[in-house]
């Protein structure tokens, strides 16, 4: 019984390199890169506004 259940679960297990899984990994990588890009832009704009505020006070 136990061996039969293990065999059944193995039959339904998807290999990690199916086209769907590769597509999902690719999409998640794109999302990660986009988030990094947004974060960098926010940091740069915050730094620019801080710099311009300091320069205006002089």
For the stretch 33-49, pLDDT in tens is: 999 999 999 999 999 88
For residue 21, give every residue at least 6 positions away whose Cβ sits within 8 Å of its Cβ, in sequence order, or none: 14, 15
pLDDT tens digit sequence for 10-26: 655 556 678 888 899 99
Query: pLDDT of 24-33, one tens digit each?
Result: 999 999 999 9
Class of residue 50 by CB neighbours under 10 A (exposed 0-12, middle 13-18, buried 19+):
exposed
């Amino acid at each position: 019984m136990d061996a039969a259940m293990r065999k059944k679960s193995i039959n339904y297990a998807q290999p990690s390199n199916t086209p769907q899984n590769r597509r999902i990994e690719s999409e998640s990588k794109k999302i990660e890169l986009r988030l990094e890009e947004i974060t960098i832009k926010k940091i740069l704009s915050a730094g620019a506004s801080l710099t311009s505020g300091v320069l205006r006070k002089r």
